[in-house]
Amino acid sequence: MPFRSLSPEDVISGGTRLVRAGLEGGKSAVAHGKPALERAANLTAQAANWGAQNPASFACAAVGATGALVFVAPGLVSIPLLSSIGFTANGIQAGSAAAAAHSQIGNIVCGSAMAITQSAGAGGSGLVIVNGVTQLGGAAMTVGSAGLAWVKAKL
């Protein structure tokens, strides 16, 4: 297929068609997006009212949902937490809490908690252990909040 050169008029008419299509798509998004946005705002208001009327149940639901999220995606918690303490992908960050602990410990023993967290921070096999412990915490949050909600319902 030979290359056809485009005239300035061809480029302008193509650009005009593209802009018109974008404007039509924008109209469609507004037409369909507004009802969904109104429903979402209404649902949010209903949830806020229920939470204000049932603060203990709302707290249990929030903690339970957070625990479930941590259970499903432990990396959302473990990786930022490890990094904030000073266990980074490049090793222990100078001046961090991890560096202070390392200076107190001295040589790191293989299999110790410090070695595991150092490995986890670098994305090694220690991350499996840290994520497993994080998942246990998420499961405990979910089960504990469900238990408290059940006890509250019985009282």
- The reported pLDDT for the residue numbered 53 is 92
- Asked whether residue 3 is domain-assigned, the answer is no
- The reported pLDDT for the residue numbered 155 is 84
- The reported pLDDT for the residue numbered 85 is 95
Cβ contacts of residue 61 below 8 Å, gap of 6+?
145, 149
* 32 and 89 fall within a common domain: no
- The reported pLDDT for the residue numbered 64 is 95
* 23 and 99 fall within a common domain: no
- The reported pLDDT for the residue numbered 6 is 66
Asked whether 115 and 126 are in contact (CB, 8 A), the reply is: yes
Query: Under DSSP, is residue 152 helix (H, G, I), strand (E, B) or coil?
Result: helix
In one letter, which amino acid is 36?
A
- Asked whether residue 2 is domain-assigned, the answer is no
- Asked whether residue 107 is domain-assigned, the answer is yes
- Asked whether residue 75 is domain-assigned, the answer is yes
* 150 and 99 fall within a common domain: yes
Number of domains in the chain: 2
* 69 and 138 fall within a common domain: yes
Q: What is the mean pLDDT of the chain?
A: 88
* 101 and 68 fall within a common domain: yes
- The reported pLDDT for the residue numbered 104 is 93
* 35 and 94 fall within a common domain: no
Domain range for 88: 55-155
Cα–Cα distance between 88 and 85 in angstroms, integer?
Answer: 9
- Asked whether residue 1 is domain-assigned, the answer is no
Those residues of the chain that have pLDDT short of 50 are none
* 84 and 18 fall within a common domain: no
Query: Under DSSP, is residue 124 helix (H, G, I), strand (E, B) or coil?
Result: coil
* DSSP structural state of residue 122: T
SS (HEC) of 29-90: HHHHHHHHHHHHHHHHHHHHHHHHHCHHHHHHHHHHHHHHHHHHCCHHHHHHHHHHHCEECC
* 73 and 103 fall within a common domain: yes
Q: Quote the tokens at residue 78.
A: 């473990």
- The reported pLDDT for the residue numbered 4 is 66
pTM of the model as a whole? 0.66
- Asked whether residue 17 is domain-assigned, the answer is yes
* 144 and 79 fall within a common domain: yes
